[in-house]
Chains A and B, each alone.
Chain A
Amino acid sequence: MAEQTLSVSLKQVPQGRLGVWLLIVGELIIFGSLVVCYLLYRLRFPSWVEQTQHTSTFYGGLNTFVLLTSSYTIVKANDAALKKDLAKMSRYMLTTIFCGLIFLAVKSTEYAHEIGAGFTLTSPGLQATNPVGATFWSFYYIMTGLHATHVLAGMVTLFVVWLDARKGRNIHRVELGGLYWHMVDLIWIFLFPLLYIAK
């Protein structure tokens, strides 16, 4: 019976994974809406191109590299977890968290750089001459800022998972943490071209 198979096949998705997937869908909708709002404004104001000249492709690119690396290491961590190789898993998880740390460090440097140049959340200097341009920076900070908070949240999650997993407890959570980490990565893959490349 078709009905029977549906109910059985759905039940085969483990509970935790299903929960994390739903969480990810929720998060993607939130970020998706921000991106849509940004695009609507961007299309309305071609003059934003001037502002995008000032975002640092170098820092953005560096961070893309860091995050992609971390996605690789978390996959390796999960592989190791599946093989019950705790030492290797633990090493890869810590590397992932460390990548997150580097990401945040680079982000802070980048922010310091932009703030030094007068581009802040409200950009008071810019407001006097180019009020519409100032709103670009509001979007820049809200999008990257919210993303950075998620990086931090992902790091904390992975750390909590690591505390247990390194002793062999709740190893399946490595995969769940990894799923979340991939989402953080995915969002960045959207933000990077939108804010740093499209100039």
Chain B
Amino acid sequence: METPHSTTHAPQGFWTKYLFSTDHKTIGIQYMITGLFMAAVGGFLAYVFRYNLAFPGESIPLFGQLDAMHYNAFVTNHGMIMVLFVGMPFLVSGLGNLLIPLMIGTDDMAFPTLNMMSFWIFLVSCLVMVAAFFVPGGAFGGGWTLYPPLSASGYVNRNPAFWSTFFSATPMFILGVALEFVSMLMGGINFLVTTINKRAEGMTPFKIPLIVWFLNIATLDFMVSVGPLVAGAVMLLLDNVVGTGFYDPARGGDPVLFQHLFWFFGHPEVYVLLLPALGVMGEIIPVFSRKPLFAYRTIIYLSLIAAVLSVVVWAHHQFIAGIDPRMATFFSIGTIIISIPFAGVFLSFMATLWGGSIRFTMPMIWALGFIGLFLIGGLTGLYLGSSTFDIYAHDTYFVVAHFHYTMFPVVFFGFFSAVYFWFPKFTGKHLNHTLGMIHFWLTFIPFNVTFFVLFFNGLAGQHRRVNEYSSFSNIMKEPYITFEKISTIGAIVLMVSQFIFLYNLFISLRKGRKAEKNPWDSNTLEWQADSPPVHGNFNPYPVVYHGPYEYSHPSSEQDFVPQDNPIVLKTN
């Protein structure tokens, strides 16, 4: 049978090639660059309020004085930006766009124009979030969780005139997030349809690389869980702008309803980010251990189970919101159960490493760093999952430290592993190894410095979302004051060292060593395309014969067998 090949022609002009491109690779890179920009915004906000926590009342370099209102706005936007405007474009839209078509062996997404539109809607949503800082009264400051009654009242819209009501804090925040959701939903439809319909010949479900599976499971999880929040956000917007009473207890409304709607999305959302990051590790670890991924099918089943469970754990965020204790027990148990499938995935990574011939390349170092850090995050999560402990630790820096130990590795270590791994593929250049190593250590160590001490502050009772503690005598004493300073210094080093990464990108793009097709001796299809892949990716389309992880197979001479290599492997 003749294999069909791409008939589309590469667009020529600058505009169609780099800006209004429908090519999945360009769009993926656009997402990542936008994400980097938003990471700079979110990071700068973190720098400002971290500095304020360590040196209250002092003027902040590069910023100035920070009052309580702005402190709240900064924390709120930091949270939302890091989760939805950095994590999502890095891990879901960015990686999904770059990798799905290449890894399943096709030319582009199922709906390229829709894909371009989702990026532009995403860009607008970012602009709305940033613009909100400059409207009269400043950005929204009711916490990234948007809890009513605060967010439903006009209190946080510090501008009373009707039209400016709409262009003020809460509505703009909701609008920005809503546009992001629209963009992600459109992108999600594209991912699923592409993976289901456009796979290369022979790419049966269990020959699909782990990350493509995980991206799709994450997308599905997102699409299922976001609906309730969309409905909830519409009600919140009306409460805020028009003055309805959906969440107003005086009119029969129930603020806790919003908490349910929010966390029904909010908790699956962390798995939406976690799954692609785990997928990245699932690609990197076998390649640099030169061993097949341990229990590939089992991991896929486990993560499907986890995706189902992820929509029944949400109320563990509400243990102290006055929910029924019987319900709290149910959600405690659910939360503890959901750690089992993820523990399974981690064990499989360990088992893959076990006895492998490990190569300490840059991506591998980041992947190992991820595993180490996420372990701490996951284990502290297990404590918090039990409602008895959570009632004590709720809303303290223990929680802040816990979710940064999960979210930071997921978002940034996941992103960096992916960039160090796939950079040669998409640019045709190698990143500088030495700079990469320096970058790793200057991220890994300062990250721990920043957040490890916060566990102790949290256990001592320090509350989150408070801008200064002078009236809390249990916190305003040693060692907690010093811990605050240590944490801030760690954060500053952490942020400054990211310039090494940017410099590395820049210098390697210009002068980096040229990358061959398959620099890491890897099996999956993207490595069989050119570096960088041409428009249309493959010519002709590949035909798939093997699973993605046939490393060190006894019946093959090479220690890797590309998925489209027609040789027959003997199973013994």
Contacts of A170 in B (CB 8 A): none
The distance from the CB of B300 to the nearest CB of chain A, in whole angstroms, is 13
Q: Is the CB of A26 within 8 A of B244?
A: no
Q: Is the CB of A11 within 8 A of B244?
A: no
| Any A CB within 8 A of the CB of B245 | yes
Q: Is the CB of A138 within 8 A of B185?
A: no
Could you give, for residues 30-69 of chain A, a 1 whenever the CB lies within 8 Å of some chain B CB and a 0 otherwise? Answer: 1111101100110011000000000000000000000000
Q: Which of B69-77, B124-132, B229-237, B455-463 contacts A (4 or more CB under 8 A)?
A: B229-237
The distance from the CB of A162 to the nearest CB of chain B, in whole angstroms, is 20
Contacts of A23 in B (CB 8 A): 185, 189
Contacts of B110 in A (CB 8 A): 15, 19
Q: Is the CB of A30 within 8 A of B230?
A: yes
| Any A CB within 8 A of the CB of B474 | no
Contacts of A32 in B (CB 8 A): 227
Closest to B251 in A: A131
Contacts of A29 in B (CB 8 A): 223-224, 226-228
Q: A6-B205, A121-B244 are in contact. Are A30 and B197 (CB under 8 A)?
A: no
| Any B CB within 8 A of the CB of A135 | yes
Q: Which residues between 138 and 168 of chain A lie within 8 Å of chain B, taking CB atoms?
A: 138-139, 142, 146
Q: Is the CB of A135 within 8 A of B193?
A: no
CB < 8 Å: which of A6, A22, A142 contacts B189? Answer: A22
Q: Is the CB of A10 within 8 A of B204?
A: no
| Any A CB within 8 A of the CB of B62 | no
Q: Is the CB of A15 within 8 A of B193?
A: yes
| Any A CB within 8 A of the CB of B308 | no
The distance from the CB of B305 to the nearest CB of chain A, in whole angstroms, is 19
Q: Is the CB of B244 within 8 A of A37?
A: no
Q: A127-B251, A134-B245, A135-B245 are in contact. Are A3 and B205 (CB under 8 A)?
A: yes
- State in angstroms the CA–CA spacing of A131 and B235 once bound together: 17
Interface residues on B, range: 35 or more
The distance from the CB of A152 to the nearest CB of chain B, in whole angstroms, is 16
Q: Is the CB of B245 within 8 A of A33?
A: no
- State in angstroms the CA–CA spacing of A143 and B188 once bound together: 25
Q: A3-B204, A22-B189 are in contact. Are A33 and B227 (CB under 8 A)?
A: yes
Q: A19-B110, A132-B252, A135-B246 are in contact. Are A26 and B227 (CB under 8 A)?
A: yes
The distance from the CB of B200 to the nearest CB of chain A, in whole angstroms, is 11
- State in angstroms the CA–CA spacing of A33 and B234 once bound together: 12
Q: Is the CB of A122 within 8 A of B185?
A: no
Closest to A133 in B: B252
Q: Is the CB of A7 within 8 A of B205?
A: yes
Q: Is the CB of A34 within 8 A of B196?
A: no
Q: Is the CB of A138 within 8 A of B192?
A: no
The distance from the CB of B223 to the nearest CB of chain A, in whole angstroms, is 5
Contacts of A30 in B (CB 8 A): 227-228, 230-231
| Any A CB within 8 A of the CB of B68 | no
Q: A40-B257, A121-B242, A142-B235 are in contact. Are A22 and B223 (CB under 8 A)?
A: yes
- State in angstroms the CA–CA spacing of A29 and B232 once bound together: 12
Could you give, for residues 326-337 of chain B, a 1 whenever the CB lies within 8 Å of some chain A CB and a 0 otherwise? Answer: 000000000000
| Any B CB within 8 A of the CB of A25 | yes
| Any A CB within 8 A of the CB of B250 | yes
The distance from the CB of B256 to the nearest CB of chain A, in whole angstroms, is 11
| Any B CB within 8 A of the CB of A13 | yes
Q: Which residues between 195 and 248 of chain B lie within 8 Å of chain A, taking CB atoms?
A: 196-199, 203-206, 223-224, 226-228, 230-232, 234-235, 238, 242-246
| Any A CB within 8 A of the CB of B57 | no
The distance from the CB of B202 to the nearest CB of chain A, in whole angstroms, is 9
- State in angstroms the CA–CA spacing of A95 and B372 once bound together: 63
Contacts of B479 in A (CB 8 A): none
- State in angstroms the CA–CA spacing of A134 and B197 once bound together: 49
| Any A CB within 8 A of the CB of B540 | no
Residue of B185, B238, B251 most packed against chain A (CB within 10 A): B251
Q: Which residues between 2 and 28 of chain A lie within 8 Å of chain B, taking CB atoms?
A: 3-4, 6-7, 10-11, 13, 15, 18-19, 22-23, 25-26, 28
- State in angstroms the CA–CA spacing of A31 and B251 once bound together: 23
Residue of B110, B193, B223, B261 most packed against chain A (CB within 10 A): B193
Q: Is the CB of B196 within 8 A of A11?
A: yes
| Any A CB within 8 A of the CB of B253 | yes
Q: A131-B250, A135-B252, A138-B245 are in contact. Are A19 and B193 (CB under 8 A)?
A: yes
Q: Is the CB of A25 within 8 A of B223?
A: yes
The distance from the CB of B296 to the nearest CB of chain A, in whole angstroms, is 14
| Any A CB within 8 A of the CB of B144 | no
- State in angstroms the CA–CA spacing of A171 and B252 once bound together: 50
Contacts of B223 in A (CB 8 A): 22, 25-26, 29
The distance from the CB of B5 to the nearest CB of chain A, in whole angstroms, is 18
Q: Which residues between 52 and 73 of chain B lie within 8 Å of chain A, taking CB atoms?
A: none
Closest to A1 in B: B204
Closest to A29 in B: B227
Binding site for B on A (CB under 8 A): 1, 3-4, 6-7, 10-11, 13, 15, 18-19, 22-23, 25-26, 28-34, 36-37, 40-41, 44-45, 121-122, 127, 131-132, 134-135, 138-139, 142, 146
Besides the known contacts A122-B242, A146-B234, 19 further A-B residue pairs in the complex with CB atoms under 8 A apart: A1-B204, A6-B205, A11-B199, A13-B197, A18-B193, A19-B111, A19-B190, A22-B188, A22-B192, A22-B223, A26-B185, A30-B227, A30-B230, A32-B227, A37-B257, A40-B257, A44-B252, A122-B244, A127-B251
Q: Which 8 residue pairs are nearest across A and B when measured between Cβ atoms? A: A29-B227, A132-B252, A33-B228, A33-B231, A138-B244, A131-B251, A30-B227, A34-B231
9 contacts between A and B (CB under 8 A): A6-B204, A15-B111, A23-B189, A26-B185, A26-B189, A33-B232, A41-B254, A127-B251, A138-B245
